[in-house]
């Protein structure tokens, strides 16, 4: 049996060719469905005036959540850029600081601090009570020490000292 000259169903070659011809003719007899991939409107637009609105279907390529994240990231980037510009301006100002400029800025605060310290010192001196204790006569001090020591226990010793 020659596998090149027999069909799958065991038909002779002439019958297989006739069946193939019948299937092709049947397929060719069906109408072809056309699926247009684009549309061109050949009507002329008006020369002047407003054009009527044309409905445009919403075919988004990007999901809504991804577009939201993209917009948020643009906003965050713009905010960070603003903060960076502000920091740059502050640092530019600080880089041009001189000793004279610092002293001129700090001098009023230092003067106010000195005045506040002087006023506080004057108030504390005025409020301070002057105590003068004068003792006349001999001063004696009596201390009696009685050492009575007892120790009990072998491993955990407890000592008791009585000073009286």
pLDDT at 143: 74
User: In sequence order, what E strands does the chain have?
Assistant: 148-152, 158-162
pLDDT at 150: 66
Q: Tell me the pLDDT band of 149, cut-offs 50, 70 and 90.
A: low
Phi, psi of 4 (to 5 degrees): -80, -20
Residues 1-14 have a mean pLDDT of: 65
pLDDT at 153: 65
The three-class DSSP label of residue 85 is helix
Radius of gyration of the chain (CA): 54
More confident residue, 22 or 99: 22
Model confidence at 162: pLDDT above 70 = no
How far apart CA 132 and CA 150 sit, in angstroms, is 47
Residues 28-52 have a mean pLDDT of: 79
pLDDT at 102: 79
- The first and second tokens of residue 161, run together, are 């000292």
Give tens-digit pLDDT for 114-138. Answer: 999 999 988 888 876 767 777 778 8
pLDDT at 42: 86
pLDDT at 93: 82
Give tens-digit pLDDT for 23-37. Answer: 999 988 888 777 777
Model confidence at 1: pLDDT above 60 = no
- The first and second tokens of residue 9, run together, are 């169903």
pLDDT at 69: 92
Q: Which residue has the tokens 């596998």?
A: 3
Give tens-digit pLDDT for 76-121. Answer: 999 999 999 999 988 888 788 788 887 888 889 999 999 999 999 8
């Amino acid at each position: 049996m020659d596998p090149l000259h027999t069909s799958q169903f065991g038909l002779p070659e002439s019958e297989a060719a006739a069946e193939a011809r019948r299937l092709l003719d049947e397929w060719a007899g069906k109408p072809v469905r056309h699926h247009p991939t684009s549309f061109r409107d050949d009507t002329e637009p008006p020369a002047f005036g407003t054009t009527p609105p044309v409905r445009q279907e919403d075919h988004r390529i990007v999901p809504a959540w991804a577009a939201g994240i993209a917009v948020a990231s643009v906003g965050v980037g713009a905010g960070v850029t603003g903060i960076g510009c502000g920091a740059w301006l502050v640092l530019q100002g600080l880089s041009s600081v001189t000793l004279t400029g610092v002293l001129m800025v700090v001098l009023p605060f230092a003067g106010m601090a000195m005045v506040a310290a002087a006023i506080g010192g004057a108030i504390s001196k005025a409020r301070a009570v002057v105590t003068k204790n004068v003792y006349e006569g001999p001063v004696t001090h009596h201390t009696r020490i009685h050492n009575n020591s007892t120790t009990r226990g072998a491993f955990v010793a407890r000592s008791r000292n009585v000073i009286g």
